[in-house]
Structure 1
């Protein structure tokens, strides 16, 4: 495992490491100053492990395609190229402020008001629309892979980052284990053919997390999550179960109990409707990015007609989950489940 104490030596020539930003299975991310232009950037330093080197090369392949897009207009991180440090591949990105996960955490995981949720979701749907225009599936959309550009701005701007397991739609392989537990679409867990609709499923879960402050589907493994999905949304479509490479893995196991309690309505019906369309169990019925961008929830005049209530204020639908891997208690608007 790479340590913060020796990260300085990974920075060659004109990149001076100023801070250690994070660490993952791939390696580390550092904040560096380019001494040639005095610009501060984020550098993803990949380990020299052969498998990680291959993954880094595949990420570069995707990032090269994304250069056709305007990073600001399309809400994706700006990539400034790469350089080598010995056998390590270092990817140079624009420096952004903080992850959406941390942004939510700064609110004590109590959820954001609608006036903040609406522009964030709109920007992310815009990002997915543009990824689709160049035939790319992100495949790992979640709060830690979404960055707030500058938290001090009055209007929150976000960008999608980490294209480490992204792929071309034409190169998708059914059965590939992509994504993160708790954010994967049902078709991923079952091992059926999938496409860019998996990103919309993940965006629906991000939307819920923005509103409630906690993940909708917590679980230690895919079985936990899939059982929760079925308990809350109903049985998966037959064609999905019949075509799944891994369907048998989910049979004949003890189910976990889930209790749902309904509360009074709080007027966020358009938000709930959008989430339901994002989380359609059948990928063919799931809303597309272009359709989402036209959804009435994003109507510019909506904020003046609909109260900007906090989803965790009095009202909404209270979910109490029993016997889940973690203890969760959260509110959610009515008529969803």
Structure 2
């Protein structure tokens, strides 16, 4: 439960608080933190929120150095589904960054988008307002132009870049230099960090770190090949069989049965076996549907 102390003493903070709670109360998505209730006493506002205890994505990037591509794409896909949802409601988050993406628990597998303090509806037309965090701000915001939900897609592109290599795409000794590089789209994929990253992942980032009119919407980005080809992890089943019952024929038959049931080609189902003390453990892995 969050405690917003003495907000009544600052009119601007009250308006921002009311804006944030109004928006977040209306949202219902598995990758957006849920707000359950809000109440106040004579000194404080209290907000009852969904518990998310796994820490920031930012902290995990710092700890890991970078994310392997197969892990990064799964997390980016989660964030993207939240952005598709917000896009359908014409809501701009406007401060999307790793610090505002929280893991639900210590397994660090599921992310929730938090902090809607800068969020705003663009249902009545484009927004023209300077907000955001330096490295993640879209060029149209920096230039003082009008914008819509695609500013969040720019931020997602920066997040994907940072996750895959461990550093931001923009160089600069100060904020002004960073802003110049953002506005002129000055970034690259330096060696050796990017040598192992797929061309599909790089294309995904390029499709977001472009001028507003060329940038993919959230719905379009979800259909990008990087999301389509890598987002689904293998699902595993473990079977433990006595050694005298184990045979490759049995497993191949089971493999074919599973493939038929899931309408998969049997070549998509892989078998790994390990025998310990006369017991064979066989693991079948196949794409989920």
Q: Which runs of 5+ in 2 are unaligned?
A: 234-289
CA shift for structure 1 position 151: 2.9
Q: Does 1:189 align with 2:138?
A: no
CA shift for structure 1 position 216: 2.4
CA shift for structure 1 position 303: 7.9
Q: Deviations over 1:168-201 (max 9, x none)?
A: 0135775411111111000000000000000000
TM-score by structure 2 length?
0.71
Would the aligned equivalents of 2:97 and 2:136 in 1 still touch at CA under 8 Å? yes
Q: CA–CA distance in 1 between the matches of 2:68 and 2:190?
A: 22
SS in 1 for 2:136: coil
SS in 2 for 1:299: helix
CA shift for structure 1 position 84: 0.9
Would the aligned equivalents of 2:94 and 2:152 in 1 still touch at CA under 8 Å? yes
- In structure 2, the partner of 1:50 is 11
Q: CA–CA distance in 2 between the matches of 1:170 and 1:58?
A: 15
Q: Does 1:95 align with 2:39?
A: no
- In structure 1, the partner of 2:101 is 146
- In structure 2, the partner of 1:216 is 169
SS in 2 for 1:62: helix
Q: CA–CA distance in 2 between the matches of 1:151 and 1:161?
A: 17
Could you tell me which of 52, 63, 81 is aligned with 1:106?
A: 63
Would the aligned equivalents of 2:139 and 2:183 in 1 still touch at CA under 8 Å? no
- In structure 2, the partner of 1:274 is 204
Instruction: Number of aligned residue pairs: give it.
Output: 230
Q: CA–CA distance in 2 between the matches of 1:137 and 1:45?
A: 23
Q: Deviations over 1:288-333 (max 9, x none)?
A: 11111111112346889xxxxxxxxxxxxxxxxxxxxxxxxxxxxx
SS in 1 for 2:96: coil
Could you tell me which of 202, 218, 221 is aligned with 1:292?
A: 221
- In structure 1, the partner of 2:245 is none
Q: Which runs of 5+ in 1 are unaligned?
A: 1-41, 235-258, 305-337
In terms of fraction of residues, the more helix-rich structure is: 2
CA shift for structure 1 position 225: 1.7
Residue correspondence of structure 1 range 76-87 to structure 2 within 5 A: 76-87=32-43
Alpha-carbon spacing, 1:144–1:219, altered in 2? closer, same or farther (3 Å): farther
Would the aligned equivalents of 1:217 and 1:229 in 2 still touch at CA under 8 Å? yes
SS in 2 for 1:131: helix
Structure 1 stretches of 4+ moved >6 Å: none
Alpha-carbon spacing, 1:302–1:92, altered in 2? closer, same or farther (3 Å): closer
Alpha-carbon spacing, 1:44–1:302, altered in 2? closer, same or farther (3 Å): same
CA RMSD, 1 decimal: 2.7
Q: Does 1:131 align with 2:86?
A: yes
TM-score by structure 1 length?
0.62
